[in-house]
Amino acid sequence: MIDYHVHTSLCNHATGTMEQYVRTAVAKGLSGICFLDHLTLQEAGRANAMSPQEVPMYVEAVRRLARQYRGRISIRVGLEVDFSPHHVDRCIEIINTVDLDVVGSSVHFIDGEDVVSRRSAWSRGELSPDAVYTKYLGVLDSMLDYDYFDVVCHLDLPKKFNRRPSPSAAQGFRELLEKIREKNLVVELNTSGFHYPVRETFPSPELLGRCARLRVPVVVGSDAHAPESVGRDFDRARDLLDAAGYRHLTGFSHRQREAVLL
């Protein structure tokens, strides 16, 4: 198994050194790990992401670890870009200045607020689920009009606090999967949801099954923000992938895909 969504202390809300994450991955028998730290160019979120000036240093630090652990584990480096239509051009500029293995893209912000923060109005139940999901799906749809990324991260993230999409919003996610297939993108199976009130992966098992039927490739990520979380719940992820019919995961090297046996 490979863990393709691991953060670092550079994002200002994760703990541990990069090497501690790698050592945990080795101890758990993973064949690969990919650092996918935040690139967020929204003022409300800058405290929870590295600065653009830190990106080259971050990439080189991971490359050093890759050389150090060559032969023991595959170590890749990427970015989780928080999509903002106002900052997307600058994000693309940053991506193009460094040698990355993979770029993931995600949506956390709606109308300038991080809706999946524990401090958000959404977390307190003060926002209409229909309004939040409608806006979220709209931003995701806009994100999919761009080509700067390889992986869609934690697709149905707003359900984090166990406020699930209505039937119409659920249909919206299914329709977006058609667009994801047309764009030839990879979907992340993110296991962090097991540790939030929703108690299931992002995306849901139902959407994962639909990904399989559409032949959308997948990669698995723990979204680890501490070394001990690397590879967390991957046994459960493997069961879900087996049930959906997946036999391979998708890895990356220098933005090129690699097939990885489950």
- Average pLDDT of the chain, as a whole number: 95
- Per-position DSSP letters for 207-220, written without gaps between them: HHHHHHHTT--EEE
HSE-up (13 A, CA, CB side) for residue 134: 6
pLDDT surpassing 50 at residue 208: yes
CATH of the domain at 12: 3.20.20.140
- In terms of residue numbers, what domain contains 31? 2-261
Give residue-wise pLDDT tens across range 160-169: 999 999 999 9
Which of 179, 10, 176, 158 shows the shortest CA–CA distance to 79?
A: 10
DSSP string computed for 61-85: HHHHHHHHTTTT-EEEEEEEEE--T
Report the range of poorest mean pLDDT among 144-148, 165-169, 212-216, 221-225: 165-169
Give the CA distances from residue 238 to residues 183, 191, 231, in Å, rounded to whole numbers and listed in that order. Answer: 25, 11, 11
Query: Count of domains in the chain?
Result: 1
Q: Is the entire prediction scored with pTM above 0.85? A: yes
Query: Is the pLDDT assigned to residue 18 strictly greater than 90?
Result: yes
What Rg do the C-alpha atoms of the chain give, in angstroms? 17
Tell me, rounded to whole angstroms, the distance of Cα 89 from its chain centroid.
20
Q: Give yes or no for residue 255 having a pLDDT over 90.
A: yes
The CB-side HSE value for 187 (13 A sphere, CA atoms) comes to: 32
pLDDT band at 45 (very low <50, low <70, confident <90, very high): very low
- Contacts with 68 (C-beta within 8 Å, 6 or more apart), sequence order: none
pLDDT at 94: 96
Residue 44 pLDDT exceeds 70: no
pLDDT-derived band at 49, boundaries 50, 70, 90: confident
- Cα(45)–Cα(255) distance, integer angstroms: 26
